[in-house]
Chain A
Amino acid sequence: EDQVTQSPEALRLQEGESSSLNCSYTVSGLRGLFWYRQDPGKGPEFLFTLYSAGEEKEKERLKATLTKKESFLHITAPKPEDSATYLCAVFYTGNQFYFGTGTSLTVIP
């Protein structure tokens, strides 16, 4: 069965402590992988799109990478304002976006 799994479910970091979030997928015919940030009570905010293995995208303290089986969201020197839930979504044959359950990130000052 096609699946998207995010790990860890929750992550607590000290300010400045870099780490990575993982999104692994088993869907066939991947046509795009998307990272979103979601704050409580808000809709997901688009961060990155990755279309092919080996692709990388960067934005401020965030860097997303993609392999044939997984994607990583690297957070360098995080700040408290980076605290949020990070969602990945895959788009594959069937014209549907399938979201993972997210990683809840807390950055402690």
Chain B
Amino acid sequence: DTGVSQDPRHKITKRGQNVTFRCDPISEHNRLYWYRQTLGQGPEFLTYFQNEAQLEKSRLLSDRFSAERPKGSFSTLEIQRTEQGDSAMYLCASSSGGTNQPQHFGDGTRLSIL
């Protein structure tokens, strides 16, 4: 069990640029989740996949955000035209079995917008 892997760990970019993050879940986990966490807050749900299907998206997820999970394995989260408010830690989690099973998190990608 190698755990959930996220890449890169840190990303610094200028406002207006596009960024893409990658998440490799625990193998055989069919569910994959993306969260955003800012300092002093708990993770905020963004979206989740069951296999390759994106089943739910938060109202917080603007049109500038898009996520994919081709072939039901790794996932990517893209943010277009980044804004200052996008600065946060982006966390990925995966789980197996039913939707009420615990999620296991990666160590996140910290995004800083200059």
Contact = CB atoms under 8 A, between A and B. Distances in A.
Interface in B36-91: 40-45, 48, 55-56, 58, 91
B56 A46 contact: no
Contacts of B42: 87, 89, 99-102
A39 to B, nearest CB: 10
Given A32-B100, A87-B42, A91-B100, A43 B55 contact: no
Contact of B40 (A43, A97, A101): A101
A95 B105 CA distance: 17
A99 B44 contact: yes
Interface string A82-109: 0000010101000111111110000000
A43 B45 CA distance: 14
Contacts of B101: 49
A41 B107 contact: yes
A87 B108 CA distance: 16
6 contacts: A34-B102, A49-B101, A89-B42, A98-B45, A101-B42, A102-B42
B103 A97 contact: yes
A38 B55 CA distance: 27
B70 to A, nearest CB: 22
